[in-house]
Amino acid sequence: MTLVLDDSDRAALAGELGPAYRLATRVIVQVAEAIGAHRLLDITGAHIDSCLYHGRSGLDFAERLVDAGAAVRVPTTLNVASLDLRHPDLYRGDPETARLARRLTERYEEMGCLPTWTCAPYQLEQRPGFGEHVAWAESNAIVFANSVLGARTDRYGDFIDICAAITGRAPAAGLHLDDNRRGEAVFRLHGVSDRLRDADVLFPVLGHLIGGRTGNRIPVIDGLADGLSEDRLKAIGAAAASSGSVAMFHAVGSTPEAPTLDAALGGRDATETILVTPAELRGARDQLTTATDTDRVGAICVGTPHYSVGEFARLVDLIGSQRVASGVQFLVSTGRYVLTEVALRGWADRLGDAGVRIITDTCTYISPLLADVDGAVMTDSAKWAYYAPGNIGVDVVFADLGECVATAVSGRLTRDESMWADA
């Protein structure tokens, strides 16, 4: 299929709008040609993952854009950085890497990107509405935008994301198009107890299972309660985008394009119906634990994706007047805008007094922030459990937040198996 460009696209390619715009347009056009798009479309915003330092090439590309006069044309938020920019003293890695990572963040700000530094831009006050076309990178942000907000983005990676922000254009392909947003594989809960269906821990586990089984299809979840909270939908999407290549899912009765099963499937038959049983859920949960000597837990890491105000409320309620035991680190990652609200409510001080450290601008499975850990690390995040062993070389115990808090306070591993046994 031939890519048809409009006059502004052709002018950009001719260099009439400057060298930075020409370079960015070349990238977007070549991506569009590679994926068979027949046109480009306008976007209303972007979210950038390229600001996370993975090596010199990323900085070199940003330097080239800035030196050529690049500026974003649409509101553009920034994903997590490689360090907590507000508390750089917490970084325990190579000082030169930290310097280059900070330089990379500065370059993106110079292009007019908003210094949001969060993997959860959907928790900001301004976020895309239903049907809006955006160019979002970061896997959990992509799946949330498509699934929960009903906005439209394809999966954009490093360099493509910033080029889309500079041009305000993206290929009219993938999940931007109606035909590609219909559900295909149905995951139907079967024999799962009401207790587990109403537990927060179900949703990351279910997402992990779906990601591993669905391939590149769009999954439809049938059998959950209607009107699920954004935090629970976030947990499904983040986990499914980690264990698989899921960029969109439908939850019947909860996500905007799935008021019914038939609507989620777009009036077509499912390619496959998969029964999600208690045994399969237990198996998926167990996959998220790598620790063998689980009597030793030296740290708790939560907030992947970044904790919302609602999740902080639950954490504050669970900790109450208790304190984290000596020898246990407790780290919570969040965005700086959420932290502002948490601080205004007095929760930041309460958590600090309890021995909980709040991290902003980055994530604890990306940045070396943990001190030496005596034992495994416990988390309520399927995404953190999936990536941390390979990224930072720790063993992980996956659990729900209540178990994380109980373990942190007692200093001993605490898990409640009855929920899974009763399922």
Q: Which residue has the tokens 């399969």?
A: 280
Neighbour order of strands in the sheet with 250-251: 250-251, 219-222, 185-189, 272-276
For the segment 31-62, what is each residue's pLDDT rounded down to a tens digit? 999 999 999 999 999 999 999 999 999 999 99
3-class DSSP assignment, residue 360:
strand
Q: How far apart are CA 120 and CA 306, in angstroms?
A: 6
Residues 79 and 49 sit within 8 Å (Cβ to Cβ): yes
Q: What is the mean pLDDT of the chain?
A: 95
For the segment 116-148, what is each residue's pLDDT rounded down to a tens digit? 999 999 999 999 999 999 999 999 999 999 999
Both structure tokens of 138: 């970061």
The pLDDT, as a whole number, for residue 294 is 66
The pTM (predicted TM-score) of the whole model is 0.96
Q: How far apart are CA 154 and CA 156, in angstroms?
A: 6
Beta-bridge partners for 356: none
- What one-letter code names the amino acid at 220? V
For the segment 58-93, what is each residue's pLDDT rounded down to a tens digit? 999 999 999 999 999 999 999 999 988 888 888 888
Domain boundaries, given as residue ranges, for the chain: 7-178, 182-286, 289-409
Cis peptide leading into residue 305 (ω within 30°): yes
For the segment 357-402, what is each residue's pLDDT rounded down to a tens digit? 999 999 999 988 898 898 999 999 999 999 999 999 999 999 999 9
Q: Which numeric CATH code is attached to 289-409?
A: 3.30.499.10
Q: How far apart are CA 53 and CA 97, in angstroms?
A: 8
Of 106, 174, 164, nearest in space to 136 by CA: 164
Judge whether 7-178 and 289-409 match in fold: yes
Both structure tokens of 388: 């941390």
- The CATH label, of 1.10.3720.10, 2.60.220.10, 3.30.499.10, 1.10.630.10, for the domain at 7-178 is 3.30.499.10
- Which helix H or strand E contains 219, and what residues bound it? strand 219-222
Residue 423 pLDDT greater than 60, yes or no: no
Cβ neighbourhood burial of 158 (10 Å; 0-12, 13-18, 19+): middle
The pLDDT, as a whole number, for residue 318 is 98
Both structure tokens of 80: 């997590």
Mean pLDDT of the region 170-189: 97
CB atoms within 10 A of CB 317: 9
Q: What are phi and psi of 108, to 5 degrees?
A: -70, -35
- DSSP tag of 247: S
Residues 227 and 254 sit within 8 Å (Cβ to Cβ): yes
Separation of CA 397 from chain center: 20
For the segment 286-314, what is each residue's pLDDT rounded down to a tens digit? 999 999 866 789 999 999 999 999 999 99
As a 3-state breakdown, the chain gives helix, strand, coil percent values, each rounded to 5, of: 45, 15, 45
For the segment 218-249, what is each residue's pLDDT rounded down to a tens digit? 999 999 999 999 999 999 999 999 999 999 99
The pLDDT, as a whole number, for residue 215 is 85
